[in-house]
Homo-oligomer: A and B are copies of this chain.
């Protein structure tokens, strides 16, 4: 297959390149000037996909690292780094705010681009690492030194393909392939088709990619190991889940079987509430939505807490005797979060067997009989009593467990716990589906059609 028309769409054109380069240059100049003027021993450097030339058209994130000498104290580095970021934004004119990764940084919007100002140490090798962000400098150098010019297109194709089949990005929500990992994969397999063929034909969990022959791959236990060429103690694919690795393999096989340009754009979902409800009805299960206000925390934290809470909720329900066929969650990352729970067994018998002791030890049995008297009966040689079940259906159990005095039994993040308890609503899917935003419909469609995104 020819990729010309794909590249035409995803590769930044002259104008975009010029604009981004000019903006980056201007920012760096301002920063370095500011540093000099204020006697701050920092040097601004462009890193990330813009520096490497591997950004997808329209998706340039300008990452500026402010390199400080190794002898700078962490406190001074943070303080002066953040100062430079804010001052630069003020000078050029834009809006900035502080964020946290492994340490704080400033992010701003300038001329329509998102700019990150990240203070770091000016290290020459991974042995000098003081914080996780420092490594980025080395990544940049490594890619610039090793990635051939004509491989940049291959990186772009791979990133775009991965993005379209929903495997791109190492954030919690995706658990997929980071941009740097894409670049290393191109270095390993030469080009886009090389990566896809290898994934389709050869990949298995336990695969080790070790470009610099550092021989530390065995140390890692993740499904895919890609030893960081600049740091033998780091697996670049650490965030990749088995699920996403498998999905990429299947998408690669699907593409190889039938290469199509469609694979370079997200697959559209055309659906409507009626058709979704019809599918749910056909499943002959009971499906509910728990909607609540998403807490105001960064997406990575939010998704991690949603995942944890989903697991905790499902476990509690199953422990109580209900049968959950499938569960998932969704958030618009703003004001709405949703759990979906599909039940095979939604309502329970009115009574629950409660097992007592065997009859042979009279001391034990008498305690049991004092409590339950003539309600107790024998099952073989063991006492048992049928007690009224506290929760006639999963709805009453969920109401119980989400109440203020009980929600601490649910293992979940702190912020989600509070919002969930205060704002939750439980509805049958058909009661609320027509009030839902499009994102929810798409989520429900994918819940019903898993792996829709892997085929074209």
**What chain B residues lie within 8 Å of A284 (beta carbons)?**
347-350, 392
B282 touching A451 by the CB < 8 A rule? Answer: no
Q: How far is the CA of A162 from the CA of B347 in the complex (A)?
A: 41
From B245, B349, B381, B392, A245 is in contact (CB under 8 Å) with B381
Stretch at the interface among A41-49, A184-192, A372-380: A372-380
Min C-beta distance of A283 to chain B, whole Å: 5
A359 touching B392 by the CB < 8 A rule? Answer: no
Q: How far is the CA of A282 from the CA of B392 in the complex (A)?
A: 11
Nearest neighbor of A451 in chain B, beta-carbon distance: B377
Instruction: State whether the Cβ of A205 lies closer than 8 Å to any Cβ in chain B.
Output: yes
Interface centre among A223, A250, A325, by most chain B C-beta atoms within 10 angstroms, is A250
Q: How far is the CA of A348 from the CA of B346 in the complex (A)?
A: 12
Query: Which 8 A-B pairs rank lowest in CB-CB distance, beginning with the nearest?
Result: A246-B381, A284-B350, A377-B450, A377-B451, A204-B360, A285-B349, A243-B380, A284-B349
Instruction: State whether the Cβ of A341 lies closer than 8 Å to any Cβ in chain B.
Output: no
Complex interface residues of chain A between 124 and 161 (CB less than 8 A to chain B): none
B349 touching A242 by the CB < 8 A rule? Answer: no
Instruction: State whether the Cβ of A400 lies closer than 8 Å to any Cβ in chain B.
Output: no
From B204, B348, B350, A282 is in contact (CB under 8 Å) with B350
A374 touching B455 by the CB < 8 A rule? Answer: yes
**What chain B residues lie within 8 Å of A323 (beta carbons)?**
345
Instruction: State whether the Cβ of A116 lies closer than 8 Å to any Cβ in chain B.
Output: no
B347 touching A345 by the CB < 8 A rule? Answer: no
Nearest neighbor of A344 in chain B, beta-carbon distance: B349
| Apart from A323-B345, A374-B455: 16 A-B pairs, beta carbons within 8 A | A203-B360, A223-B381, A245-B381, A246-B378, A246-B380, A249-B360, A282-B350, A283-B350, A284-B347, A284-B348, A284-B349, A284-B350, A344-B348, A377-B450, A378-B450, A378-B454
Given A359-B246, A378-B451, A451-B378, check contact A325 B344 (CB 8 Å).
no
**What chain B residues lie within 8 Å of A283 (beta carbons)?**
349-351
Instruction: State whether the Cβ of A247 lies closer than 8 Å to any Cβ in chain B.
Output: yes
Complex interface residues of chain A between 351 and 386 (CB less than 8 A to chain B): 351, 359-360, 362, 374, 377-378, 380-381
Min C-beta distance of A378 to chain B, whole Å: 5
Complex interface residues of chain A between 243 and 258 (CB less than 8 A to chain B): 243, 245-247, 249-250, 253
A249 touching B377 by the CB < 8 A rule? Answer: no
Tallying the copies of this chain within the complex gives 2
Nearest neighbor of A241 in chain B, beta-carbon distance: B380
Nearest neighbor of A321 in chain B, beta-carbon distance: B344
Q: How far is the CA of A2 from the CA of B255 in the complex (A)?
A: 92
**What chain B residues lie within 8 Å of A380 (beta carbons)?**
242-243, 246
**What chain B residues lie within 8 Å of A362 (beta carbons)?**
201, 253
B378 touching A250 by the CB < 8 A rule? Answer: yes
From B249, B344, B381, A359 is in contact (CB under 8 Å) with B249
**What chain B residues lie within 8 Å of A451 (beta carbons)?**
377-378
**What chain B residues lie within 8 Å of A203 (beta carbons)?**
360
Q: How far is the CA of A323 from the CA of B284 in the complex (A)?
A: 17
Interface centre among A204, A325, A348, A359, by most chain B C-beta atoms within 10 angstroms, is A359
**What chain B residues lie within 8 Å of A245 (beta carbons)?**
381
Complex interface residues of chain A between 292 and 342 (CB less than 8 A to chain B): 323, 325
Min C-beta distance of A149 to chain B, whole Å: 35
Nearest neighbor of A388 in chain B, beta-carbon distance: B282
Q: How far is the CA of A203 from the CA of B359 in the complex (A)?
A: 10
Given A205-B360, A345-B344, check contact A381 B243 (CB 8 Å).
yes
From B204, B247, B285, B374, A378 is in contact (CB under 8 Å) with B247
**What chain B residues lie within 8 Å of A347 (beta carbons)?**
284
Min C-beta distance of A247 to chain B, whole Å: 6
**What chain B residues lie within 8 Å of A204 (beta carbons)?**
360
Q: How far is the CA of A283 from the CA of B245 in the complex (A)?
A: 48
**What chain B residues lie within 8 Å of A243 (beta carbons)?**
378, 380-381
Nearest neighbor of A359 in chain B, beta-carbon distance: B246
Interface centre among A246, A349, A359, A450, by most chain B C-beta atoms within 10 angstroms, is A349
Q: How far is the CA of A378 from the CA of B241 in the complex (A)?
A: 13
Nearest neighbor of A325 in chain B, beta-carbon distance: B349
Q: How far is the CA of A249 from the CA of B378 in the complex (A)?
A: 11
Interface centre among A201, A347, A378, by most chain B C-beta atoms within 10 angstroms, is A378
